[in-house]
Amino acid sequence: MTALSRIDALIGQMTLAEKLGQLTMTAAGYAVTGPIIAGDSTAAIREGTIGNLLNMVGAEHVHEVQRIAVEESRLGIPLLIGYDVVHGHRTVFPVPIAEAGIFDRQVWEQTARAAAAEAAADGLAMTFAPMLDIARDPRWGRGVEGPGEDPYVGAQFAAAKVRGFQGGQLAAADALAACAKHFCAYGAVTAGRDYAAVDVSVRCLREVYLPPFAAAVAAGVAAVMPAFTDIAGVPMTANRELLAGWLRGRLGFEGVIVTDYNAIAELVRHGVAADLAQAAALALQAGVDIDMMADAYRRGLPVALERGLVSITQIDTAVRRVLTLKSRLGLFTDPYRRGATPESAAAIAAHRLLARQVAARSLVLLTNRNEALPLAADIHDIAVVGPLADSSIDMRGPWWGAAAEVGHVTVLSGLRDALPGARLVHAAGVAVAEPALGGIAAAVAACERAQAVVLCLGESAAMSGEAASRSELGLPGAQRQLAEAVLAWAHSRGVPVIVVLFCGRPLVLPWLFEAADAVLGAWFPGSEAGHAIADILLGQVSPGARLATTWPRALGQVPLFFSQRPGGRPEDPQDHYTSRYMDVANTPQFPFGHGLSYGRFRLDNLRITPARATADDRILVQVDVQNDGARPAEETVFLFVHDRVASVARPILELKGFTKLQLAPGERGTATLALAASALRFVGQDLELVFEPGEVEVLVGSCADAALLLRASLILE
């Protein structure tokens, strides 16, 4: 029997309750990601009225519930079991906003592949990742989960993560069904406040928020999750225009749409449904297949059928999509395939090594005055100070998968491993978010004999992620008082202070960037955090990461991003009536793409071939790069464009490519970026893509500071 005929036969045998069970996903109770905790669902699985689970981890547990579904239910339909494997499972990799800053598609795919292997060994078949929300407001806590501010980066990240999670064959024992989330514009919530309303233009949707999802669909993503939020008053869970129209119609997505936690029931709170039956009908009509944790389909769709709000044909269509995904995952053929063989010790060790390498590559050297880093090779006395210097649990960051609370390498332990003969003195000084100042004096005293101070500051892991919006972006608690005391002591004695800054978002800290000798942006580096940080501090690895998001110098600049339009009165310091602040510069603390290294790079000789192109041409952009520094290092080269005159005003800079070069001291290389001329199309006045003849400025450099970019002209014909 073919997969299609088996699915048709099953649908023909199902009762309404069994059909709705296939459209229902409930939590197993091991973790909670929302306001509802599910009870024991074993009986419902046996009855065939629950067909999907989330938050169950461990092959033994998974196989047992799978056995109940396959061997004890009437129709023997296997369960689909998913989990939030966002940046690792048992081994935790850097948070996505950090990993995005590596600007390496192969790395993005590798970490997803490793995470998928670990999660599949735990019996899982689905991950609620990648998160593809473009985020331009650092007050919003969920920016930590995604690829940053730029839609081109988001699209590249999306394709790499889908390839990594799903592998070459979705039915393979180490493959997970990826679920692209949160469709779409969740990152544009009002005032950066999680779950708040969204109101953006259709142009903004098509230019900024939809491209990463289009890339995920093109890469074959198995599932998509709509956002909790509404767009211009229409909640995404019931947004027929975007789900059925754009996602399924325009993009041709044929996979499963699964809601976020309790989202269908929340349509009543949104004010677009009077009761659960109407809410369920709206979601089904929009194209939603699986109801996660609202129990709206099981309870509401029978009533909606009686009212004539939905048809049994619509229900069957959703059931068919769910069963098709289960078939593609190989669950009908062998429901126990995932988790049948535990990961080997060698595989686990390989994942930890990868985690260390990727973590080191994700650390952004934000400032480095007078080459304070790397630390001297003969250093033997270091004070490791601050509330995040020895906090294993915080190294994981938010959404840590199934990782334990312990076993993640801290800065203190990483430096101890790297410098076994050195004297390392540790003092927390203050707690992350508490106002108490009592430990500051002891922390300063701990620095007394130090040749250097490593000051570990920032947010705890719980301060980023879902439901973690912040209205202030400074250091929480009494950390500023600690930092100022340590800095004052160190400056009085000429001792360098190296700040290691942990955060899930840019923090507004102009005073710290001015005072510290060096600031290493660590984000949340994962299981191997301390080893990776030690590798950078001691010069074993040259920092190479760049910011995937613009870093503001003042909260009032937010939202701040590099691809803004010029406006009719662009900033002019000599003209009062131009677009500028009275009290702060328009420029960010650090632009998109900023990041220092232990090399010193010079770019020149920009050339474009051909200089005139039609829509069908492929353009080659090349620039020479030389490392004039004393150490080998990696440089990232970005390709931007600016259409000077178009039917719609174009952004000052649009990212169209990036590449990397590793160069030895004195070595010269060529960065080559290929650009399809068709990629220079843009959303025209009719909101459709258009290719317009004319002059396009091509800009190349190491960050989105327009003053530092090399420029050339390209003529489109």
The residues that are catalytic are: 260
For residue 21, give both structure tokens. Answer: 């069970």
> The tokens 């270091």 sit on which residue?
382
CA atoms of 394 and 387, how far apart (whole Å) = 10
- Which amino acid is it at 226? P
d(CA 160, CA 162): 6
Among 71, 36, 37, 41, CA closest to 53: 41
Residues 285 and 255: beta-carbon distance below 8 Å = no
How far apart are alpha carbons 52 and 402 in whole angstroms?
19
Structure tokens at 293: 């944790």
Residues composing the chain: 717
d(CA 156, CA 620): 19
The first and second tokens of residue 188, run together, are 């544009």
Per-residue tokens: 285: 């009509």
- Residues 6+ positions from 75 with CB-CB distance below 8 Å: 10, 13, 14, 18, 48
Please state, in angstroms and rounded to a whole number, the distance separating the CA atoms of residues 419 and 422. Answer: 5
User: What do you get for the CA distance between the two ends of the chain, in Å?
Assistant: 55
Q: Which residues of 704-715 are buried (b: 16+ CB within 10 A; e: fewer)?
A: bbeeebeeeebe
The whole-angstrom distance between residue 552's C-alpha and the CA centroid of its chain comes to 19
Nearest to 611 by CA among 505, 698, 500, 512: 698
Q: Beta strand 694-701 with 633-643: parallel, antiparallel or unpaired? A: antiparallel
* Residues 412, 191: Cα–Cα separation, whole Å: 37
Nearest to 655 by CA among 549, 566, 505, 551: 549
Q: How far apart are CA 259 and CA 326, in angstroms?
A: 17
